[in-house]
Amino acid sequence: MSYKETADKVLGMLQSEHENDTSNGHLTMDNWEWPTGVALYGIYKTYQQSGDKEILRYLIAAKMGITEEPTTIDELTKLAEALSAYSDDTYALNMCKYVAGTINYITVAMGAPQTWGVDENGDIYPAHKSPAYLEGLNWLRHLYEIGGIDPDFMTIESGNWDSIERTGKAFMRFDCLDNCYRQQEWFENNEGTTETIFAMVNGLKNKDGNITVWPQNAGFSGEIAITKTVKDEATMLRVMKFLDWCNSAEGQTLLNWGLDGETYFIHSDGFRYTKPESGEDVSEYVYKIQHSLNQLGMNVNGDLTPKAATTALRDEYNALNIAMTPYAVANPCYPLTSETDVMFGSTLVTKLEDAHVQYIAGIISEDELRAVWQEWEDEGGAQMTKEYNDAYHAAKK
- Based on the fold, state whether residues 8 and 82 are members of the same structural domain: no
Say what the pLDDT of residue 67 is. 81
Which of 250, 277, 303 is the endpoint of a domain?
A: 303
- Based on the fold, state whether residues 159 and 256 are members of the same structural domain: no
- Based on the fold, state whether residues 179 and 279 are members of the same structural domain: no
Residue 144 has pLDDT above 80, yes or no: yes
Domain count along the chain: 3
- Based on the fold, state whether residues 66 and 40 are members of the same structural domain: no
- The answer to whether position 177 is within a domain reads yes
> Which residue segment(s) compose the domain that 253 sits in?
3-48+218-303
- The answer to whether position 308 is within a domain reads no
Task: Give yes or no for a contact between 183 and 53, defined as CB atoms under 8 angstroms apart.
Answer: no
- Based on the fold, state whether residues 134 and 262 are members of the same structural domain: no
Q: Which residue blocks in 146-282 are alpha helix, DSSP H?
A: 161-166, 178-191, 233-246, 249-257
Say what the pLDDT of residue 245 is. 85
Residues in the chain: 397
Residue 28 has pLDDT above 50, yes or no: no
- The answer to whether position 313 is within a domain reads no
- Based on the fold, state whether residues 254 and 129 are members of the same structural domain: no
Average pLDDT over the chain, rounded to whole?
83
Task: Give yes or no for a contact between 54 and 76, defined as CB atoms under 8 angstroms apart.
Answer: yes
β-strand 272-273 against 124-126: which pairing, if any? unpaired
Q: What is the CATH number of the domain that holds 112?
A: 3.40.190.10
Beta carbons within 8 Å of 79's beta carbon, 6+ residues apart: 56, 61, 66, 70, 92, 172
Q: Please, how many CA atoms are within 13 Å of residue 331, restricted to the half-sphere of its CB?
A: 20
Instruction: Report the percentage of the chain scoring pLDDT > 90.
Output: 44
**pLDDT tens-digit series, residues 163-194:** 999 998 999 999 888 888 888 988 888 888 88
Average pLDDT over residues 42-60: 52
- Based on the fold, state whether residues 57 and 178 are members of the same structural domain: yes
Query: Looking at the DSSP assignment, which residues form a beta bridge with residue 324?
Result: none
Q: Which residue blocks in 204-282 are alpha helix, DSSP H?
A: 233-246, 249-257
Q: State whether residue 359 is helix, strand or coil.
A: helix
Residue 241 has pLDDT above 90, yes or no: no
- Based on the fold, state whether residues 44 and 154 are members of the same structural domain: no
- The answer to whether position 80 is within a domain reads yes
The continuous run of DSSP H or E covering 118 comes out as strand 116-118
Residue 36 has pLDDT above 60, yes or no: no
- The answer to whether position 316 is within a domain reads no
Which of 249, 284, 303 is the endpoint of a domain?
A: 303
Average pLDDT over residues 117-131: 97
